[in-house]
Structure 1
Amino acid sequence: MITKEQVLEAQNTWAKGVIKIGSLKKDRLSCETFTNEFLDELYAFDSGIVLFKPTKCAVKQFRPKKVEAMSYFIAGDNRACEEDKGFAMNPWIKVRFENTEIILDENRAIAMGNYFFTAPDGNEAKVEYTFGYKLENSNLKIDLHHSSFPYTP
């Protein structure tokens, strides 16, 4: 059975990874290498379908391929999607998850809530998220990533 602690640890690892990607923005090779490892460690692209819908996408909203996720996180000259600016390159100095609820099962977990991204100037961006995790070799891998800005009437 997947535990709440495993989900919280996966979220913490994801948050630290996003921060590290941004910290490497001046060393493109290291940034690409780390982001590739980040996606391999935390996402299930190698073992099946990943439903990836990042926040800041209007033209190519859904990204089922690893190369498209990489493009979203770090963009660059070889980005897969022209609209990408490199979300994780902001950089962010803090990422905080605020879970509304977590559903736990034998081999799956789903977490939903808000996550907050703090920029170097202290401004915080609030984003809604749903992450689905599956258990692979005792590790949680994300196979559902949906995030969006809160509705503004």
Structure 2
Amino acid sequence: MAPTMGASDSKASSPTQEAESNAVASKNHHARILHIDIVKMTRNKSSIRSVIPSGAWGLGLLSQPATPVIAAPTVQVFDINITESLVLAAQDGWCKALLQISSDYASGGITKAKATAAKVIDQAYAFEFGPVAFKPTLTTGKHTFRTTRAGALANFVGNDPSFPLDTGFALTPWRTCKVVNQVIQLSGALAITMGNVVFSDASGELTSVDKTWGFMKEPDGSVRIILHHSSLPFKP
């Protein structure tokens, strides 16, 4: 006769039920761990909040790196270097100015010639900044060196009682003027030239003088004469 199953035996768990029970227990275990981690994170975040300004979290300043705004720089170029082309242009301008003074004297007399010469001196020479080392060709005695604007003007057009020996070099009826350079030295804003200037007058006669010039390029870009030495060639 087969044994009869008792009440306790009828409640025994099947293998499937046992597996489901173990799965539920595992889920409960992981849920408890997750709860503990969330609590820890909340506490840590609270600690961070206590030392970081409250607005930082809301503005998202901690969630992404700040991108600096870099403005374009203001660039200034100070180019005071003199060039050979500037020097040659200044020399050519000096010759043209001399011929213009001579022409104005022929057409308008000393008044017109003197007005033109004054403009030439103000534009070509650096007297407005101080003395110029100017030694004209035909000067002597105490008036050999013309470091002032008045002395330079008298050399070009004469007619100044303070310089009685000046007859006005630019009043000669000059027709051509040519610069022949032997040396051109460039150093920063300064240039020095040495050579000859050859003139021809209305009769075609040529006059050559030895010429040394010193040019300075000013901050405004203009080129001014700061040294001018002129003399007749030596004849042994």
> Normalising by the residue count of structure 2, what TM-score does the alignment of the two structures yield?
0.63
1:30 is aligned to 2:112: yes
More helix by share: 2
Partners of 2:206 and 2:199 in 1: how far apart?
5
The one-letter code matched in structure 2 to 1:13 is G
1:1-153 to 2 correspondence within 5 Å? 1-26=81-106, 27=108, 28-59=110-141, 60-76=143-159, 78-136=160-218, 137-153=220-236
- Aligned pairs, number: 152
Partners of 2:127 and 2:173 in 1: how far apart?
25
Bigger Rg, which one: 2
The one-letter code matched in structure 2 to 1:23 is S
Give 3-state SS (helix, strand or coil) of 1:37's partner. helix
Q: Report Cα offsets for 1:5-54 as digits up to 9, x if no partner.
A: 10000001000000010111142222111111100000000012200000
The one-letter code matched in structure 1 to 2:156 is F
User: CA-atom RMSD, angstroms?
Assistant: 1.0
Greater relative CO (CA pairs within 8 A, separation 6+): 1
Partners of 1:125 and 1:152 in 2: how far apart?
14
- Identify which range, 19-28 or 131-140, moves more after superposition: 19-28
Task: Answer yes or no: is the 8 Å Cα contact 1:71–1:79 preserved in 2.
Answer: no
Q: Report Cα offsets for 1:77-125 as digits up to 9, x if no partner.
A: x343111010000021111000001001111000100110111111110
Moved beyond 2 Å, runs of 4+: none
> Normalising by the residue count of structure 1, what TM-score does the alignment of the two structures yield?
0.96
